[in-house]
Amino acid sequence: MRSVHVVATGGTIASTSTGAGAVPTESVQELADAYSGVFDRVDVQLDQLAQLPSSELATDDLEALGDRIRAAAADVDGVVVFHGTDTIEETAYYLDLVLDVDVPVVLTGAQRTHDEISPDGPANVRGALDAAAHDHVQDGVYVLFNEQLHAARAVTKRHSSNLDAYDSGDYGLVAERTPEGFWFYRQPESLSATIPARTITATVELVTTSTDTDGSAIRHAVDRGVDGLVVDALGLGNVPTDVASAIESAIDNDVVVVVTTRCRDGVVSPVYGSDGGAKTLEDAGVVFGSDLPAHKARIKLLVALSARGDIDDVRALFGSNQHDSYGYVGEQ
């Protein structure tokens, strides 16, 4: 029988209704006791790391989770993490960036609380355990939800409450769990270059843009001494004029600025040369976030600045050719 280490952090999967609203109350042992038959196919080790909604997890918690997984990985065939759904994709991506372990790590959770009618937790846990123990899934970090296995880099929560909450966009699913087992659509593997950061020492803020946004949020962040900024730009990476001016000032103050696009699909590209155009921003020294959504680009910049710090190293880590099978491959 294959072995899986289960780390619980709280979230909706562990939550029950109280007079003050739903809060995490159920320990991983209590969930295992309640999920009759779910754990029968693997030898499990249960580990309670935290008992929080994922909206309240801090980078210290992510570091502790990474350390816990590293400590367990040598003695098991896989790791499963119970996690809240709000930020599961960010934690998964963080782990995908920093872990260098030879077992798969599968995060899962629930959209319905433990005491709701027909909770989705048990089925998600069964699927996650099966994925973590699967012979074909050798390493990498994933999210298993609603019978679908997603790669950490690609997955995004697209619905706030529906059980079919997660999507991998143009990357597509890694696999789908059927009554006869997992049907694989592509090779299960990490889509991220490993960055050797054990601790997060950098500070990075995220700034959004829309029509006529000014640059005050960027200027205030620079005044507070941040190390990096992620600017979620428009279209191909364009911003209002005052935002562009604030970005240039930030770069002059040695703040690393990563530009992403608020579009769900597509990449940032230096096409427009107006005052706020992406080509102008590129000439000013921004780093392009490719097709990463802003919240994941922030995670990557936190890790990159904590590990490297040098702008050229950070720019290389955000390059589109970090993996052989996606992005710009070969001659342009």
Q: Which residues are catalytic?
A: 12, 85
Among residues 96, 104, 97, which one has the least CA distance to residue 138?
104
